[in-house]
Amino acid sequence: MPSHPAKKLETFPNPAPARDYHIHMEIPEFTCLCPKTGQPDFATLILDYIPDKKCIELKSLKLYIWSYRDEGAFHEAVTNRILDDLAAALKPRYMRLTAKFYVRGGIFTNVVAEHRKAGWKPLTVVELGRFEGQSNIRE
């Protein structure tokens, strides 16, 4: 049975809820329509999040992203709507969605939107050097 676009986002339990860890996804085939001209807009979406109790199920994410193919939307509006929908479904500790739209009229547009759970603070970043014994801790 073939798949169809869908707005329903499915989740599954976070397998390591006691730990902050980063999930990074790149979605290079996002399309929607320009609300002014009806022409297609193409973008790569970059989703970064730190889950709390839930993670996104990938097939449902794919079908959700596909559901925008025939919708007219300004870049800023569609980026924020996708972030809002994902944040509502997952209730993550942190989430950033970067939408990198391809050139239109000589202009590239990047839209970055973020969500933070109330009271959540990121852990200190540890940067490891290239050589054994060399590391830096950044506050």
Which of 93-96's residues contact partners 24+ apart within 8 Å by CB, and which partners?
93/20, 93/49, 93/50, 93/51, 93/52, 93/117, 93/120, 94/49, 94/50, 94/120, 94/122, 95/47, 95/48, 95/49, 95/50, 96/47, 96/48, 96/49
Mean pLDDT of the chain: 92
Q: Is 41 a residue of the active site? A: yes
pLDDT at residue 137 is higher than 60:
no
Each residue's pLDDT tens digit, 56-90 = 999 999 999 999 999 999 999 999 999 999 999 99
> What number of CA atoms fall less than 13 Å from residue 66's CA on the CB side?
12
pLDDT at residue 139 is higher than 60:
no
Full-model pTM: 0.88
Domains of the chain listed by start with CATH number:
11-138 (3.30.1130.10)
Q: Which of 41, 48, 52, 70 is catalytic?
A: 41
pLDDT at residue 135 is higher than 80:
no
Q: Which of 20, 34, 48, 52 is catalytic?
A: 34
Average pLDDT over residues 32-45: 95
Each residue's pLDDT tens digit, 100-118 = 999 988 899 999 999 999 9
